[in-house]
Amino acid sequence: MSRSRAFHRFHRWTAKLRRRSLRNALPEPREGELQAIYPKQAVRCREWQRDQLKDLLEPEGLETAS
């Protein structure tokens, strides 16, 4: 391998390592990467609370109609 080719390969490799470390340090998602907006447990808890509130606020008309 020629000297200049090895030189360029080395610099490409170090740039790749630098990009990887920067990507890992950034908290924001990368382009094209899907991430959940909310954790699953939080969504389940919120939906359960909504369901409970809905049950509490429903009119009692269902029991009197029968």
Using one digit for the tens of pLDDT, what is the confidence trace for 51-64?
Answer: 999 988 887 655 55
40 or 34, greater pLDDT: 40
Q: Is the pLDDT of residue 48 over 60?
A: yes
Q: Is the pTM of this model over 0.85?
A: no
Whole-Å CA distances, 15 to 20, 24, 30, 59, 63: 9, 14, 18, 65, 71
Q: What percent of the chain has pLDDT over 90?
A: 41
State how far the Cα of 56 lies from the Cα of 49, in Å rounded to an integer.
Answer: 11
Residue 59 is predicted with a pLDDT of 76
